Amino acid sequence: MTPTTWVPHAAGSGHDVDHLPYGVFTTSDEPPRVGTRIGDHVLDLAAAARATAPSYVALLDAASLNPLMAAGPETWSAVRAWVTDLLLDPAQEAALSLLPVDDVTLRLPFEVGDYVDYYASEHHATNVGRIFRPDGDALLPNWKHLPVGYHGRSGSVVVSGTAIHRPAGQRKAPTEDAPTFGPCLRLDIEAELGFVVGRALPFGERASTADFATTVFGVTGVNDWSARDIQAWEYVPLGPNLAKSFATTVGAWVTPLAALEAARVPLPGQEPAVLPYLQEEGPGGYDVEVEVELNGTVVARPPYRTMYWSPAQMLAHLTVNGASLRVGDLYASGTISGPEKDQRGSFLELSWGGREPFAVGDAERTFLEDGDEVVLRYSAPTATGRLTLGEVRGTILPTR
């Protein structure tokens, strides 16, 4: 039985004392600092440290989570235990600053280092293969041997709530003789899960799958906005470039791995067996449920537990060549799609390449229109209920 927090309306919510995600917030009168969400409130952790744990002030009176993450996994555990104790002990209430979450401004929670985006859903990769190569094999020969990915643009990672201008670029339909320049006509989402690296790895070293829990600090939702027409023309032969680099939205809250212990599940199964450096002990997956909401209507429910590659395998692959890691590096799963039609995490799949418009309430969509608002919501089981990861929200504005 979970002990009960004294914060009103927190017990049994998606932000109970067994969750405690970290974010960075400002108020009208004070600079950015680290907080945790409990119920519908934000606990000011910089103020709490000044009052009860001065050694944590330098980690928490900070404009990003990077100092806390850089302090290492033992400190991650100690800070989480300290915050938990504060929220379970009613005698602490008077010493703490608890602010309604609607009264604070949430910022990008970490300084993003390098950013890699994977392609780890077999259902997504198969759907995309069928849409683009109807006469060939849906999966390319490498797909079940390594987690396919590309390096993205960290400088364009923005926090939930940031408006997204429709990108412009070169597009050329197969029926056209020459490319034209103009607003993207096939603007899309990719519902993904992101993993935030909290430990530096020196140049030349490798992180193994067993290093996952001491290397990755936490998890956040990701929307990898994608310009499909720009992508289709530019990606040969080196992969996505401008079709992805204009914006990637992450949640304002980073959920520590420790809060997701009850959500661990085995992978669906890997055949053929993976090479030794990708092998992993214990369950590699996470039972995170995702909802894709467009203009207030849920249009898909992708299940993360169906992903083929685990985040520990993505980490091991990322560093097997000796590439370094920095605190704040981000890697994302790739579009999460399940086997069912209503479990597809991109409009490309929901509209089958734009050929089958899908219903959104009384309207229909193939790709995003100006004014559309997308919200990705994520939840996962805990020992006694469910937690809610930070939402990933964005509205499409016209091309600048």
Catalytic residue annotation:
124
The rounded distance, in Å, linking the Cα atoms of 348 and 125 is: 12
Q: How far is the CB of 179 from Mn ion (least distance, A)?
A: 23
Select from 21, 26, 16 the least CA-distant residue to 68: 21
Q: How far is the CB of 281 from Mn ion (least distance, A)?
A: 28
Does 280 participate in binding Mn ion (rule CB under 5 A)? no
CB–CB of 248/158 below 8 Å?
yes
Closer residue to Mn ion (CB): 91 or 238: 238
Q: Count Cα atoms within 13 angstroms, Cβ side, for 174.
A: 2
Instruction: Map tokens 């680290």 to a residue.
Output: 34
Does 372 participate in binding Mn ion (rule CB under 5 A)? no
CB–CB of 17/2 below 8 Å?
yes
Does 117 participate in binding Mn ion (rule CB under 5 A)? yes
Q: How far is the CB of 66 from Mn ion (least distance, A)?
A: 24
Q: Please give the size of the binding site for Mn ion, defined by CB under 5 A.
A: 3
C-alpha pair distances (Å), 263 with each of 210, 217, 250? 18, 16, 21
Residue 112 one-letter amino acid: V
Q: Is residue 109 classed as helix, strand or coil in its secondary structure?
A: coil
Among positions 184-203, residues that touch Mn ion (CB under 5 A) are 190
Angle at 368 between CA 366 and CA 372, to 5 degrees: 130
Among positions 17-76, residues that touch Mn ion (CB under 5 A) are none
Closer residue to Mn ion (CB): 96 or 193: 193
Closer residue to Mn ion (CB): 224 or 229: 224
**Tokens read off for 222:** 């990701």
Closer residue to Mn ion (CB): 16 or 229: 229
Q: How far is the CB of 42 from Mn ion (least distance, A)?
A: 30
Does 224 participate in binding Mn ion (rule CB under 5 A)? yes
Give Cα 191 distance to the centre of its chain: 8
* The one segment of 126-134, 209-217, 220-228, 230-238 that binds Mn ion by CB under 5 A: 220-228
* The one segment of 35-43, 168-176, 219-227, 336-344 that binds Mn ion by CB under 5 A: 219-227
Q: How far is the CB of 334 from Mn ion (least distance, A)?
A: 5
The residues of the shown chain that bind Mn ion, judged by CB under 5 A, are: 117, 190, 224
